[in-house]
Amino acid sequence: MSEHTHTIVGPKVYVSILFALLAGTALTVWASFVDLGVWNPVIALAIATTKAMLVVLYFMHVRYSTKLTKLAIAAGIFLLLTLISMTLADYVSRAWGSW
Amino acid sequence: MENSPAVAELRADRPSYLRHHFQSVEQQADASNFAMWLFLLTELMFFGGLFTAYLIYRNWYFAAFVAGSHQLNVIWGTLNTVVLILSSFTMAMGVWCAETARKSGLVLCLILTFILGLCFLGIKSVEYTEKFEKHHVPGQHYSLSSFLYPDTDEAATAAGDKPLPLDMARHTEVYFSLYFAMTGMHALHMIIGIGILVFMIVRARAGAYTVGHVTFVENFGLYWHFVDIVWIYLFALLYLISRH
């Protein structure tokens, strides 16, 4: 940890991220009114995840954080996705063949 | 030992806010940043449980969840998303002001964040009021009429809803239970954040955070951005994916 120096993220980056987030919001609202069948939720979640990643990397400075912080966040997200997918796998397969 | 020249020398270049168990300001900042992230990960797990419940029930009672979602107003939801993104931006700018020792800039950013936070809650309360008026709040007075007779309901007509069978219509109550649980927990986080913002505005006006010790502002920024991220997903899942 001791070799890590504090990076200050400046207004230029913040303004670009702000406009990217506003553009993402406009895009996702527009896409939600287009009938894309099963792809509507996929696209909405993909745009939301892109926006969330921009917030995490730049507003929350994770891009400039220590490896320890990056590893902890990655582990946390991996655990969440594991829990969600295992729970869904259980619900999907529990009544297998009885519908 | 306490008064030896060696100890005095060690203390000489230590700022007052550097706790004795840390070697350097960087180490202290990294440690508290890491700890804040651990807390946010527990928050992630907490909201993750609600999101998982929503996913499962949406798959089970799909028609009810689509009809329930049509009762939400996309314009209010979009406006609130914009308000929250702007507040994240002003908070990020506040952290920058603290890091670069701009006292009046920091106070201004914190006040703007505070106002935008209140705007979000104001819009949310307008939406909640409509839910109460239409008896879409789960409980004894819950009304199914928007879902059994969509012709009588403006939002349902606009979305082109077909009448739901009674057993499916009853499950719209599950949608609104999750809607209030998720947006309510999110709003609670906003209220707590706004309370801390007031505390920070008072402290910042007195000159805190702009003399090198910015950990509190930075960690609060992380919390505020996390709450923003939760809303980004809530907006997509509650308002958008059943719209087309």
Is residue A54 within 8 A of residue A21, CB to CB? The reply is yes
Per-residue pLDDT of chain B (244 residues; tens, 9 = 90+): 556 666 665 666 788 889 889 998 889 999 999 999 999 999 999 999 999 999 999 999 999 999 999 999 999 999 999 999 999 999 999 999 999 999 999 999 999 999 999 999 999 999 999 999 999 999 999 999 999 999 999 999 999 999 999 999 999 999 999 999 999 999 999 999 999 999 999 999 999 999 888 999 999 999 999 999 999 999 999 999 998 7
Is residue B241 within 8 A of residue A44, CB to CB? The reply is yes
CATH of B46-240, one of 3.30.300.30, 1.20.120.80, 1.10.287.180, 3.40.50.10470: 1.20.120.80
Tokens found for residue A55? 């917030």
> Where does residue A34 rank: exposed (0-12), middle (13-18), buried (19+ CB within 10 A)?
exposed
Question: A with B: how many residue pairs have Cβ under 8 Å apart?
Answer: 137
Q: Which residues of A touch B23 (CB under 8 A)?
A: 2
The pLDDT tens digits for A29-66 are 999 999 998 899 999 999 999 999 999 999 999 999 99
CA distance B34 to A72: 8
Nearest residue on chain A to B32, alpha-carbon basis:
A69
Give residue B14's pLDDT.
84
Is residue B32 within 8 A of residue A64, CB to CB? The reply is no
Check A52 against B229: CB less than 8 A apart: yes
CA dist list (Å): B36 to A75, B43, B67, B96, B207: 15, 11, 39, 18, 24
CA distance B45 to A77: 9
Give residue B112's pLDDT.
98
CA distance B55 to A84: 9
Comparing CA positions, the residue from B196, B27, B188 lying closest to residue B121 is B188
Check A45 against B88: CB less than 8 A apart: no
Kindly report the nearest CA distance between residue B243 and chain A, in angstroms: 6
CA distance B20 to B144: 62
CA dist list (Å): B96 to A84, B63, B92, B105, B204: 36, 47, 6, 9, 14
Is residue B40 within 8 A of residue B221, CB to CB? The reply is no
The predicted complex's ipTM stands at 0.92
Give residue B13's pLDDT.
74
Nearest residue on chain B to A65, alpha-carbon basis:
B30
Mean pLDDT of A73-93: 94
Check A76 against B99: CB less than 8 A apart: no
pTM of the model: 0.92
Of A9, A48, A87, the CB nearest to B233: A48
Tokens found for residue B77? 């939801």
Q: Which residues of B touch A22 (CB under 8 A)?
A: 82, 85
Question: Which residues have a Cβ under 8 Å from the Cβ of B38 and sit 6 or more positions away?
Answer: A72
Q: What angle do CA B70, B190, A32 make, to 5 degrees?
A: 25
Q: At what angle do helices B25-60 and B215-234 cross, to 10 degrees?
A: 10
Check B52 against A84: CB less than 8 A apart: yes
Pseudo-torsion of CA B74, B76, B82, B83, nearest 10°?
-160
Give residue A1's pLDDT.
44
CA dist list (Å): A59 to A9, A15, A50, B209, B223: 8, 10, 13, 18, 11
Q: Is B144 helix (H, G, I), strand (E, B) or coil?
A: coil
Mean pLDDT in chain B?
Answer: 94
A99 pLDDT higher than 60: no
Kindly report the nearest CA distance between residue A52 and chain B, in angstroms: 6
Nearest residue on chain A to B35, alpha-carbon basis:
A69
Q: Which residues of A touch B99 (CB under 8 A)?
A: 6, 8
The amino acid present at A91, given as its one-letter code, is: Y
CB count within 10 Å of CB B164 equals 23
Q: Which residues of A touch B232 (CB under 8 A)?
A: 48, 51-52, 55
A24 pLDDT higher than 90: yes
CB count within 10 Å of CB A77 equals 15
Phi-psi region of B129 (alpha: psi -120 to 50; beta: other; left: phi over 0): alpha
CA dist list (Å): B213 to A37, A61, B12, B209: 51, 17, 17, 5
**Residue percentage of chain A with pLDDT more than 70:** 92
Of B48, B96, B240, the CB nearest to A14: B96
Phi-psi region of A19 (alpha: psi -120 to 50; beta: other; left: phi over 0): alpha
Check B31 against A1: CB less than 8 A apart: yes
Check A28 against B236: CB less than 8 A apart: yes
Give the confidence band of A2 by pLDDT, cuts at 50, 70, 90. Answer: very low
